[in-house]
Amino acid sequence: MHGEAAMASSTLMLFFFLSSFFTFSPIPCLGRYHPLDPLTPSEFTQVRTIVKKSYPSSIHNLTFQYIALDEPDKYIVKSWLSKTNSKPETLPRRALVITRLDKHSHEIVVDLSTHSVVSDKVYAGHGYPLLTMDEQTVASELPLSYKPFINSVKKRGLNLSEVVCTTFSVGWFGEEHNKRVIKILCYYIEGTPNLYMRPLEGISLVVDLDELKIAEYYDRDRIPLPKAQGTEYRLSKQKPPFGPKFNGFTTVQPDGPGFKIDGHTISWANWVFHLGFDVRAGPVISTASIYDLEKATYRQVLYRSFISELFVPYMDPTEEWYYKTFFDAGEFGFGQSAVPLEPLTDCPENAVFMDAYYASSDGTPVKITNAFCIFEQHAGSALWRHTEIAIPGELITEVRPEVNLIVRMVSTVGNYDYVLDWEFKPSGSIKFGVGLTGILEVKGAPYTHSDQIKEDAYGTLLADYTIGVYHDHFLTYYLDLDVDGEANSFVKNNLVTKRVTDHSSPRKSYWTVVSETAKTESDAKIQLGLKPADLVLINPNKKTKPGNNIGYRLIPGSISNPLLSHDDYPQIRGAFTNYNVWVTPYNKSEKWAGGQFVDQSRGDDTLATWSLRNREIENKDIVLWYTMGFHHVPCQEDFPVMPTLSSGFELRPTNFFESNPVLKAKPPRHEHLPNCTK
C-alpha cells in the first residue's frame, strides 16, 4: 500500500516509516514505490473511471471481475532494483482488468500514467473469470424470495429466517455449451452459526450470473436435517466444562521488531523482499534477495512467488455432489477470501499488520483490514549447534537460536480456512507453510450409525445425519526462482545405487549422485516419491570456489498425487496437479496453473497444456511449479471445526553460499525482565 493508506493501516507502521530505512548498506534503492506494488485504492478508482468512460453504465452492463497490477516486464523491475542510491525513475503503471461486459468477458489493459485504455480484447475461449463477492452475495440471497424455494422450506417445517445460502462453482463435465451460472445450496442456522453442518440436502438452485436470476430449481431427496447440537464453535456460547487450560504468555521485544517495512518492501536480518497482494492469488512475494556477508552484497533468490491455484475435488459422484471440484484461486479468489487477522490469536503479540485492497464488482476499492501479519518467530530451536567433547580438557558448546520471519495470510474460502505462511530463515531457506483448518463440507445423509451404511457413503459419518465427504487439497505454487541471476537450470541429482562387483571393497553397494540437467519441459515433470533425488535449481553460469553449481534445492513436504482418472473432467481441468514438479520457461502470460479463465474451464489453458510444447529450459529464465497435496479422509475430530493440519515445503540454499551463511550470526540479546507489571 502507498502513502496515506499505509500510515493509516497501523500505528506500528508509522514507527517503521520514521525509523531509518535500512541499517546495512548495499541493498536496492528503495523509494516510496516499487514497480510491483499492488494497485492502491486511488489507482483502483482511476481504473474504474477510465473503463467506465469507455463503457458508460447507461448503455452497458459492466462488472469488474478482476483488477490487478499488470506487472512491468522483468527487465524493467530488475533495472529499477539495480539503481541504487538514485531517485526512482518513472515506472510503467498499468492495470489488467477483466470485466463481464454485456455477457462477454473482456481483458482490458489500462495505463494509469496516460489514463487510457491500452488494449481491449474480447475473450472467446472457454471458461469465465473470477467470481466476485458481490455477485455471489446477490445470487445467494435470491432463493429467499423465490416461491418454490420458500415452499420447499415450509414443506420441511423449517423457518425461512433461519436459512442462509451460499454459492458453488459448477465445474465442467463435458457439456458442449454452457452459460455463466453458479449453484446455490442452502443451510439451516437455527441454534448454530455452523451452517456447513446443517445442509438442506436435496435442494439446489442454479443462478445465471450475468442475469442474476434463478435459472433452475431442484427439490429432490428429503434427507434428515443434521442437528445443531455439537456444531457451535463460538466460545461465548459454550457451556462448562472448558478445557484444556493454558497459562498466560507474553512476549516482549525491548528494541521492537527486527524488521523494517518501507511501503511493501520488508527487510529483516539478511533478507529483503517485496510483499504484494493479488485478489486472486493472495500474497505475492517478489524480488527476494539475501545478503551474502562474505561477498558483501545482496544476491537474488526468488523473483516472484504465489499460490497459483488450489484444486479441491470432492469424492462424491452422486447428483447433488459430483460437481464439487473447486478451484479456490481461479474461481473464488484466494486474495478476495482473505480475512482480517485477529491480533494475539491468528498472529502473536509481536506481529505487525498490513491491509490489502481489491476492487469490488463495480470497481470501487475494498479494504481488507489486517490482511497480512508479519512477525519474528523465536521458536525455541537451534539455527545450528554443536557440542564438542573430543578435545581433552575442553567442552565447547556453540548454539545459535533460530529466529525466523513469517508473513501470514488466512484465506477462508467458504467453509475452509487456509493459513498461508511464507517463512524466511536467516540460513537462506524459505519455507512455505500451509495450515488447513476451518469447517468441513458435509453431506446430509439418513444415517445415525455406520452399521446402517450398506453402500459407499463417500465419506465418514461424523454425527447424526452428517457425512464428512472425502476430498483433496492441491496447492500449486508458482516459484519464479532467479538463483543468483535469471538464467537457471533444473538439475535432478539422482541418488543411484552402485553395486561393487570387483571386490575392491568389503561393501557390496553404495549410492552416489548422478546429475541430470533437464533440457526441456518434459524432463522436469516429476511425481515425487518414485525416485530418490535432490531437485536443485542451479545457476549454470556461476560456480562456488570449489566448483560447485550455485543452487537452491526443493525439500518437499507432504506428497499426495491426484487419484482421479486423467480423462475425468475435473482432472483435465486440474491436470497441473498430475505432477508435483514442473519447470517452464518464464513467460509473463503463464501465471495461473489452471488458466486465466477457470470457472467452467475445459483444461485447454493449463500448465499441463503449455508444457506440451516441451520448450527448452536449460540455462534460461525458468519457473518452478510445485504442488503440495492432501488427501482428506475426515474424522470426528474435524467436527464441528477442524484442528489445524500443517504441512509445507522448503527451498534451501545448496552451494549457493561458500559456507554456512549464519556462522557469524550473533545470538539475539536476551534480557531477563523480572519486573514486568500490568
Exactly one of 147, 450, 454, 612 binds a second copy (CB under 8 A); that residue is 450
Cα(372)–Cα(338) distance, integer angstroms: 9
Write down the residue that cell numbers 570449489 correspond to. 546
H/E stretch holding 374 reads strand 365-377
Minimum distance, C-beta of residue 110 to a second copy, in the bound complex (Å): 30
Query: Mind telling me the catalytic residues?
Result: 328, 416
Residues 598 and 228: their CA atoms lie apart, in Å, by 35
Q: Looking at 493, 577, 600, 611, which residue binds a second copy (CB under 8 A)? A: 493
Q: Please pick, from the candidates 120, 322, 542, 619, the single residue that binds a second copy as defined by CB under 8 A.
A: 322
Residues between 138 and 167 that touch a second copy (CB under 8 A): 140-141, 164, 166
Binds a second copy (CB under 8 A): choice among 87, 147, 177, 449: 449
Q: How far apart are CA 417 and CA 532, in angstroms?
A: 33
Minimum distance between the CB of residue 150 and a second copy, rounded to whole angstroms? Answer: 17
Is the alpha carbon torsion for 649, 653, 659, 660 positive or negative? negative
Q: Which x/- pattern over 368-397 shows residues binding a second copy (rule: CB under 8 A)? A: -------xxxxxxxxxxxxxxxxxx-x-xx
Q: Which is nearer to a second copy, 38 or 435 (CB)?
A: 435
DSSP 55: S
Site for a second copy in 512-551 (CB under 8 A): 512-513, 528-530, 532, 534, 544-548
Question: Least distance to a second copy from the beta carbon of 531, Å?
Answer: 11
Q: Which of 230, 519, 585, 615 forms a contact with a second copy (CB under 8 A)?
A: 230
- Whether 189 contacts 138, CB under 8 Å: no
Cis omega (within 30 of 0) for bond into 241? yes
The C-alpha cell that represents 187 in the structure block? 443451510
**Binds a second copy (CB under 8 A): choice among 435, 540, 595, 603:** 435
Cβ neighbours around 630 below 10 Å, total: 16
Q: Cell numbers of 340, please?
A: 482480517
Nearer to a second copy, 91 or 564 (CB): 564
Q: Taking a C-beta distance cutoff of 8 angstroms, is the pair 372, 357 a contact?
A: no
Q: Which range binds a second copy by CB under 8 A, 68-76, 98-106, 217-225, 336-344?
A: 336-344
- Cα 197 to Cα 463: distance, rounded to the nearest angstrom: 10
194-213 residues in contact with a second copy (CB under 8 A) are 195
Q: Where are the alpha helices (DSSP H) in 92-144?
A: 133-141
Binding-site member from 563, 587, 604, 614 for a second copy (CB under 8 A): 563
Nearest distance from residue 535's CB to a second copy, in Å? 11
Closer CB to a second copy, residue 31 or residue 230? Answer: 230
Q: What is the DSSP letter of 395?
A: -
**What are the CA-CA distances from residue 640 to residues 177, 411, 437 (Å)?**
39, 19, 11
Residue found by looking up cell 414443506 in the block: 155
- In the complex, the smallest distance separating the C-beta of residue 633 from a second copy, rounded to whole angstroms, is 5
Contact positions with a second copy (CB under 8 A) in 633-652:
633, 635-646, 652
Residues 338-367 that bind a second copy (CB under 8 A): 339-340, 342, 344-351
Nearer to a second copy, 99 or 267 (CB): 267
Q: Which of 476, 560, 584, 606 binds a second copy (CB under 8 A)?
A: 560
Residues 250-309 that bind a second copy (CB under 8 A): 250-258, 269-270, 291, 293, 296
Least distance (Å) between residue 512 CB and a second copy = 5
User: Which residues, numbered 603-622, are part of the site for a second copy (CB under 8 A)?
Assistant: none
Helix (H, G, I), strand (E, B) or coil at 155: helix
Helix, strand or coil, per DSSP, at residue 237: helix
Query: How many residues of this chain bind a second copy (CB under 8 A)?
Result: 192
Binds a second copy (CB under 8 A): choice among 58, 86, 242, 454:
242
- Residue 663 binding a second copy, by CB under 8 A: yes
Contacts of 330 (CB under 8 A, 6+ apart): 130, 280, 309, 592, 594, 595, 597, 598, 599, 601
Chain mean position to CA 677: 40
How far is the C-alpha of 417 from the C-alpha of 395, rounded, in Å? 48
d(CA 448, CA 461) in angstroms, rounded, equals 8
Name which of 129, 136, 174, 192 is nearest 413 in CA terms.
136
Residue 75 interacts with a second copy (CB under 8 A): yes or no: no
Report the residue from 4, 154, 215, 510 that binds a second copy according to the rule CB under 8 A.
Answer: 510
Question: Whole-angstrom Cα distance, residue 647 to residue 328?
Answer: 18
Q: Using the rule CB under 8 A, is 678 a contact of a second copy?
A: yes
| Residue 14 vs 296, nearer CB to a second copy | 296
